Structure 1
Amino acid sequence: VLEDVKNEFSLRIKESGAMINATELPVVNGIYFQLEQLFINLIGNAIKFRNVDAKPKIEITAEKVHHRQITEEFTKTHTYYHVIKVIDNGIGFSNSNTEKIFELFQRLHEKHEYSGTGIGLAICKKIVNKHHGHIYATSVKNEGSAFTIYLPSGKLKTMPRSI
C-alpha cells in the first residue's frame, strides 16, 4: 500500500523535497483501496500542511501489541493490534482540536491558506472504524503531528459468554 501511495505522490514528494521513512509495515486483513486511501490522506496532509521553510519529514512506524497494552479507550475485539504511527514535522495544530479534526467538513485553516474540503481525516476515521480499529492524533503547533492507528491482527479475542 505505502509504495503505491508514494508512487501516486511522486511529483509532490519531489517538488516539496519530502522524505518518507518507514519501518516494515505489517500485512493486515482489510480492504486494499480503503487502506490506500487512509495513507493517501495522511501523507497528503503531511506534505500539504508543512512549514514553508522546512522539507516535510514523514516517519511511519509499526509494532504489534497485546490489547491489554493499549491505554486508549475503544472497543477492543482482537487480542493483538498493529500500532501504526504516521509522524510529520508540519505546522501541527492545537491539541484542543484532536477530536474536531476527525469530524466531517472540519477545517482548521482558511481555504485561501490551504486547499481542501475538510473530509480527509473524517474518511480516515471511517476507514479505521470499518476495519475494527481506532485512530487518534496528537500535535504540537509549529512542530508537527502524530497520527496513531490501531488495526486488528489475527483472530477475535475470546469474549466471555453468559450461560
Structure 2
Amino acid sequence: MEDTMPLKQKAGRPWLPPRWFIRFAWTFHRTLYRASGGRLGLRRPRPGRWGMLRLTTVGRRTGRQRGVILAYFEDGGDLVTLAMNGWGKSEPAWWLNLRDHPDAAVQVTDGRRLVRAHAAAGDERSRLWARWHEYDPELDAYAALRPTETAVVVLAPRPEAPDKS
C-alpha cells in the first residue's frame, strides 16, 4: 500500500529536507551574501518573520575568523538566535566557537555590532523560547529531533575596545 501521509507529519515528526539540501542552501546563502558585497542575504526581523544576520566568530582551534548567517530576533538591545545546526544532532561549530571565545561581531542590515554571547538559562531561556514560537509554532517538534537541548543564544552588545594608540 502506498504511503499517503503528508511529508510534514510522517510518523508524528516534522519534515526536514535531506541534510545535503540544507548544506547546499547554507552554501548558496553565503555565496549570495559574498557575491552581492553584503547587499543581499540579510534582513531585519518583523512581526511573524525572523531576521537574518551574519555572525563572525573566532575559531576555537584555528584562531581564524569564521562567518555564518543565522536567523534572529531582537529582544531589547540583544539579538537572539538558536544553536540548532539545521536541527542536526551535533552542535553548530559557531556555537562551539562562541563558548570558547564569546566576543564576536554581527553584521545586520543597519551595520556592524560587537557582541558578547551567552546561553540563556532559566526564566530568560523560557521567555526567549516562547518568543521563538511566534516565528515557528512547530519549534518544540523540531527541537525534539536533537539529542541535546537547543541553546538559546543571546548576543548582547559590548562596547568597542578602547584605542591603545
Q: Which has the higher contact order (CA 8 A, sep 6+)?
A: 1
Bigger Rg, structure 1 or 2: 2
Same fold (TM over 0.5): no
Per the normalisation by structure 1, the TM-score is 0.31
Using structure 2 for the length normalisation, give the TM-score. Answer: 0.31
